[in-house]
Amino acid sequence: MTYSYTQISHYLTCPRRYRHRYLDGWLEKDSRAAMLFGRAFEKALAAYFLREDPGASLFREWTECQNQSLRYSNGDSWDRMLQQGIILLDRFCQEDRIRIRQPRRNLQIKFSRPLLPGKNEFVAYVDAIGKLDDTPCLIEWKTTSSRYSEEPDGLLALDPQLVCYSWMTGISEVAQVVFVRKRLVEIQYLHTTITDEQRQEFGQLVKDTIRRIESAEFLPHSGIRFPQNPCSTCPYLGLCLAKRQLVETALIRRPGAEGLGWLDELAY
Ligand code: SF4
């Protein structure tokens, strides 16, 4: 069986959600504008490092999504997102703080790692390996509509995805480049160091989570976030409440999908 960060993160968010998604094959419909825009934007970044026209790439990729019935949030629209994306790309090129050597090798890099007792492996796709302001590091791109919190100092080192990728690659210097689509767009260049101890702990967490998955422990457990109930924003709510209309609005069924969960890494 092949595992990925997204699978482990789904299980830790709510084991029942994992079962809906990875065992029963229910997928969230691919209509979230923000997610599709993020994919188009990452392709535009790749175009930039490959010395192609990033703006033309963004326009082409985002136009392909235009006729899908997209779900927008925060007052977004197709035109507005495109405009923000173009401004962000311009700013990114002008600031010139990221360097990627040999971009064909160092963008969207696949790492795999065998897991004991030998029947499982863990797969990760890292966005880039390069330099931020001359510091060699592993880099993740993020597109978002609000800035990432930078306080208190050191917060980024607790980001589980960065810890996971550091564990997978053995690279301790990690960075997130956050493209913030707000009224006045902004790019955050966040950098931190992941320790050996964090990497070891993450390896233990992966082992323990896989043991629970393989023991079929899928009790619903969405966590407590008073006064909000995390179930209210969960795409699988319709299944847990047995409400067909909610299921049909949010999900599609992909039977026999239990071996393909790692492909999610390409979509987030
Ligand atoms: S609706 Fe709640 S209990 Fe059901 S899968 Fe989602 S988070 Fe878990």
Residues facing 177 on adjacent strands: 141, 189
Domains: count for the chain: 1
Q: Whose alpha carbon is nearest atom 4 of ligand 1?
A: 240
Residue type (1 letter), 49: F
251 lines ligand 1 (CB under 6 A): no
Ligand 1: nearest atom to the Cα of 15: 8
* Among the listed residues 130, 107, 133, the one whose alpha carbon sits nearest the alpha carbon of residue 189: 133
236 touches ligand 1 (CB under 6 Å):
yes
- Residue range of the domain that includes 158: 97-226
Q: Is the CB of 87 under 6 A from ligand 1?
A: no
Q: What is the structure's pLDDT at 268?
A: 43
Q: Residue 187 has which token pair?
A: 């790019």
| Residue 38 backbone phi and psi in degrees, to 5 | -60, -40
Q: What is the pLDDT of residues 158-191, one digit of tens each?
A: 999 999 999 999 999 999 999 999 889 999 999 9
pLDDT at 154: 86
Q: Kindly give the parts of the chain with pLDDT less than 70.
A: 117-118, 224-227, 255-268
Helix axes of 54-65 and 78-95: crossing angle, nearest 10 degrees: 160
E runs forming strands in 171-236 = 173-180, 186-193
Is residue 28 within 8 Å of residue 250, measured between CB atoms? Answer: yes
Does residue 193 lie within any of the structural domains?
yes
Closest C-alpha to ligand 1, atom 2: 231
Q: Is the CB of 21 under 6 A from ligand 1?
A: no
CA of 124 to the centre of ligand 1 (A): 25
- pLDDT at site 257: 56
pLDDT of 229: 79
Q: Report how far ligand 1's centroid is from the alpha carbon of 102 (Å).
A: 43
Q: Would residue 56 count as lying in a domain?
A: no
Q: Is residue 197 part of a domain?
A: yes
pLDDT of residue 263: 52
Any domain includes 200: yes
Phi, psi angle pair for 94, to nearest 5° = -65, -40
Residue 172 lies inside a defined structural domain of this protein: yes
The dihedral over CA atoms of 29, 31, 33, 39, expressed in degrees to the nearest 10, equals 70
Question: By C-alpha distance, which of 191, 192, 188, 190 is closest to 88?
Answer: 188
Whether ligand 1 lies within 6 angstroms of the CB of 24 is answered as no
115 in any annotated domain: yes
Would 202 be classed as within a structural domain? yes
**Residue 163 contacts residue 193 (beta carbons within 8 Å):** no
Atom of ligand 1 nearest to the CA of 231: 2
pLDDT score of 249: 87
- Whether 230 is in the pocket of ligand 1, judged by its Cβ within 6 Å, is yes
Q: Match 């179930």 to its residue by tokens.
A: 231
Domain contains 60: no
Q: Residue 26: its pLDDT value, please?
A: 93
CA atoms of 192 and 154, how far apart (whole Å): 7
What residue has token string 């977004």?
76
Ligand 1 close to Cβ of residue 123 (< 6 A): no
Q: Which atom number of ligand 1 is nearest to the Cα of residue 239?
A: 4
Residue 199, ligand 1, Cβ within 6 A: no
Contact 85, 44 (CB under 8 A): yes
